[in-house]
Structure 1
Amino acid sequence: MPGKITRVCFVICLSCFLAACSFAGSLGEDTAHKEKTAKGMKIGVCMSDMTHTTFIEMLDQMHRKADKLGVEIIEFSSDSDPGNMVEGLENFIAAGCDAIIFQNFDQDASEYVVSEAVKKGIIVISYDNYSDAATYVYVADNEKLGFAIGHMAGDWINENLGGRANVAICDYSLINFLNNRADYIEEGIRERAPESKIVARQDAGLLDQGVNFGEILLQAHPDVNVVAGVNDNGVLGVKEAFESAHKTGPSIAMFGCDATEEGIKAIREDSVFRGTVYFDLKQAGEDMFMAAVNAYLGDPGEKRVVTFQMVPIMKDNLDIVK
């Protein structure tokens, strides 16, 4: 009889022990889930040109955050080609990325692969263009932005040239929304300085393209005294060509967009590059990165579409730029 009691007690104790272990194990699983971190997360980043100053600054900011959190960033340059952009997105999916941040310069080309990525549970952030399928969208209002650049140029023409100028526009028609931005720049100039003439418009979104455009202007339109463009890089290239030809001085002005470090430096130095539009794109890069990380950790945030705030910058308000 005592032997039976001992065996029963042993079985009861063993059952209690196993139940306790199972309970502790489930607690451990819950705790592990709650303590999920971004370490080991993989994010694919695709931009149209990884050598572009703006994207270099944005990526530097992303990498600083990634290094602190243990996140891996995979980069891909689409070279402003829709086919390459789609290929980059597909590569990110195949590589097992948890999130994708990409410059969406062609919504029609990207929408299907974006929707496929989202179906697989990948967080997708569409930068620079709308997307119905993406998890988040970060964009500028290109109509307001184009008018802001055009109005800066037009106001300067009125104040310094009596309302009349010969104007050249740096376009970048490979990317549709930049082409639209150039249209609004023209409209903005005509609205503020209607007696001015748009004498030339050419693709010049990159520095070397701007230099080439500047050299063409010096030969074909030597009377050009105002240049406005869809970004800083191309306009700074025109500035470089003009300076090489000693075409500078108080009657020349150039206006861009993105408030790159080179653009701000040129304004600060009282060069012919006199204005830009500030978005704080370095912070935007960090914001997109953190939106992806937070969503991965289970915090989707409140906004799906974020529109960048913009501020026209000239010499008198440079202190706004961080």
Structure 2
Amino acid sequence: MNPQWEYTNTKISREFTKQNYSRHLNDMGSQGWELVTVDTYADQGFNLLYWKRPFGAKSGLEVESNSVEESEKIDNDLKMKKDTLIDERVQTPPPVGTSKAIKPIFASIVRYVIQDGFMDKMLGEICDGPSPEALAQYTLQISASEIVNVTMVPELDDMIKKEETGVNWLDTVEHMLVKFSNGSRTDACSGAILFDWHNDHNEWQLQNKTKVLSAVKYRVKEGFVDEFLNAVMTPSEIPMKIRKTIIQTDEQEFYELGIAGLEEKIETEDEEVNWLDTVEHLLEFFGDSRTDACSGVVNIWNNPKFLQD
């Protein structure tokens, strides 16, 4: 079967002026490229932009040399992300009472390992200082020394701004963190939201009750992405579930984020395992496990400036 899309990535300096950045976006757009997502490599001083366009769409225009660094292609170890027909696949059934609510477009998932004795302080730093660009932030402690923070934004520019301010913030809390083997202060990924189902009514009913967020990572076998997404991108049938979100973080890797009441989550675990049985043939295993998952009691922050009356 002939591919429907071709993909590329470009690397631009974080010191770009707004005018040069806009010119680069316009240059790529004039060649038929559509921006999928952006990764920020603050320590290396550049942003990595991922693009797609219909296969075979060519243009005589070339990207101006002063808009992009000489080497536009990035080493294979910075894997090229693939947005799988985002425009066609994003489905957002309107939740109760929020048909006009602003929808999240991109998300980041960041894991921190915390030094002994700093867990409470680090949780406070994250929960008390959410990014002003965020539509919503979800923070959970997944072990005695680990925190996961999920941020959703309504625009791509908001994700770029969030990453830039986040680097400065990381400098202020670095003394509380255990660095990963690659020297990074966090284990982070980001990507386009392909599907988002949110129920404000359930969230209101559970506002004073304990809620749990589960983050499930799937690695899909080559050639089975469409079948997997058709199976996973459906509204939740679990009672009192608040949110179900599907994020594509790599060509064949996806996250499912789910938020529900603690009691309801416990009661429906068998149903979720049964569903996983139905898609097992589509998945690459993580060792002996079908998924790479974590969960925990979640602190939910919704940005007041985006709330609808």
TM-score greater than 0.5 by the shorter chain: no
Name the one with the larger helix percent: 1
TM-score bin (small chain) = under 0.3
TM-score by length of 1: 0.23
Larger RCO (CA under 8 A, 6+ residues apart): 2
Please, what TM-score do these two structures have when normalized by structure 2?
0.24
Structure (1 or 2) with the larger CA radius of gyration: 1
